[in-house]
């Protein structure tokens, strides 16, 4: 074998191997770096929702929600103690309430996207047995705890005279907003991000707790009380029927709003 040619061949092979190793290393670092940067951007960037900046309204000098504890439809405890440090949405709803059902997909998506920073709790106002609500939750793949309403919960979150009604709590368990009627997906996500300390293209305005709580059924709110009428004397099925008939009529129901 010609020694110079053999040495040259060996040198070419070694250099080629080194080049392949170097290129692979560069590619690996680039891919890893891109993945890490993508994760940071997804966490730090503003939500990918259409539209420009919004104005978020939070209560001035918000009060802390009283401590509470309940069992969800699976028998697991849901308590205020376990929620501290997270943004919380307490959503009063019912299976018979059309706007409540309409906003469930948005709530599911929000809970999934911000599961480490947000906890949604559904409080069912249904007259139906828990098994019916549990079946509904399973069919709609609700991914947050659902509990049946109790006098304690209604005392903790007072003034629910229409469905859906949602209380927004900050990371200190203070009630910073109350929405009567259907939630707007975009606004609710911006509220979540702002309260969680994430970047958001929004301005914050402090408002009086009573501001903006007028009940307007055109916003999807379903009244569950009738001023001057005690629905408690009616059987459960009749109560639900009466409320459904009430909500089928056009009405701004300012009298109901005044009872909050």
pLDDT digits (tens, 9 = 90+) for 223-247: 666 555 555 566 666 656 655 655 6
Burial class, 41, CB count within 10 angstroms (exposed 0-12 / middle 13-18 / buried 19+): exposed
Query: Is residue 10 included in any domain, yes or no?
Result: no
Q: Going by C-beta distance under 8 Å and a sequence separation of 6 or more, which residues neighbour residue 166?
A: 89, 90, 91, 92, 178, 179, 183
179, 237: one domain: no
For residues 177 and 227, membership in a common domain is answered with no
- How far apart, in whole angstroms, are the C-alpha atoms of residue 103 and residue 99? 6
Tell me: do 233 and 200 sit in the same domain. Answer: no
Decide if 46 is inside a domain.
Answer: no
Q: Which two tokens stand for residue 56?
A: 């978020």
Residues 107 and 232 in one domain: no
The overall average pLDDT reported for the chain is 77
Same domain, 239 and 164: no
State in Å, rounded, how far the first CA of the chain is from the last one: 99
pLDDT over 60 (residue 15): no
The residue among 186, 207, 228 that closes a domain is 207
Residue 178 lies in a domain: yes
Same-domain pairing of 142 and 233: no
Q: How far apart are CA 33 and CA 117, in angstroms?
A: 25
Number of domains in the chain: 2
Query: Considering the entire predicted model, what is its pTM?
Result: 0.70
Is the predicted pLDDT of residue 184 greater than 90, yes or no? Answer: yes
Radius of gyration (C-alpha) of the chain in whole angstroms = 27
């Amino acid at each position: 074998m010609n020694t110079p040619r053999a040495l040259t061949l060996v040198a070419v092979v070694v250099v080629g191997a080194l080049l392949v190793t170097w290129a692979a290393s560069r590619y690996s670092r680039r891919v890893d770096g891109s993945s890490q940067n993508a994760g940071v951007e997804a966490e730090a960037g503003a939500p990918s929702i259409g539209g420009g900046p919004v104005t978020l309204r939070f209560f001035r000098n918000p009060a802390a929600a009283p401590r509470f504890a309940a069992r969800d439809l699976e028998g697991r405890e849901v308590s205020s103690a376990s929620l501290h440090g997270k943004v919380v949405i307490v959503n009063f709803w019912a299976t018979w309430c059309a706007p409540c059902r309409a906003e469930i997909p948005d709530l599911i998506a929000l809970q999934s996207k911000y599961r480490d920073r947000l906890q949604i709790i559904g409080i069912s106002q249904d007259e139906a047995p828990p098994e019916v609500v549990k079946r509904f939750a399973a069919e709609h793949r609700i991914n947050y705890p659902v509990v049946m309403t109790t006098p304690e919960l209604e005392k903790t979150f007072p003034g629910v005279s229409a469905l859906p009604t949602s209380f927004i709590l900050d990371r200190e368990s203070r009630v910073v907003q109350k929405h009567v009627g259907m939630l707007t997906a975009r606004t609710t996500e911006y509220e979540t991000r702002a309260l969680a300390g994430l970047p958001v293209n929004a301005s914050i305005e402090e408002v009086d707790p009573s501001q903006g709580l007028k009940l307007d059924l055109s916003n999807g709110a379903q009244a569950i009380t009738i001023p001057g009428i005690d629905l408690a004397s009616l059987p459960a099925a009749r109560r639900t029927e009466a409320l459904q008939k009430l909500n089928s009529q056009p009405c701004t129901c300012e009298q109901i709003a005044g009872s909050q």
